Amino acid sequence: MIDRATAETYAGWFRALADPTRVQILNLLAAAGRPMTVGEIVEDVPIGQSTVSAHLKVLTAARFVLAEPRGTARLYRVNQRCVSCFPTAADVVMGRAAMPFTEVRCR
């Protein structure tokens, strides 16, 4: 059985991806392969800047996205370490894989 801390981490990941716009933003950042500003993301996602910022806050809290301050702006990029753990998390939850020996935390 998954321990409580790991279950909470996995649940946070699933919640973060439970919105199609957040999935689109994460996909955009992954496809870009480089850090992007909120303004650049808004150009490709048909929603307002404040809504994109709110979605980025959720993705950052789940650690799927990392924010890097650059002057007065922030650059957002995919956290490869966290994203690479996600498929294993889904398999563990569904009983298709054993719990990894290393603790799953993407910090």
Q: What is the pTM of this model?
A: 0.81
What are the distances in angstroms from CA 99 to CA 2, 63, 70, 91?
7, 20, 38, 9
| pLDDT tens-place string over residues 74-89 | 999 999 887 777 767 7
Residue 105 in any domain: the answer is no
Polymer length of the chain: 107
pLDDT tens-digit profile of 42-61? 999 989 999 999 999 999 99
Q: What is the pLDDT of residue 96?
A: 75
Tell me whether residue 69 is in a domain: yes
Does some domain include residue 56?
A: yes
The Cα 5–Cα 35 span in angstroms is: 30
How many domains does the chain divide into?
Answer: 1
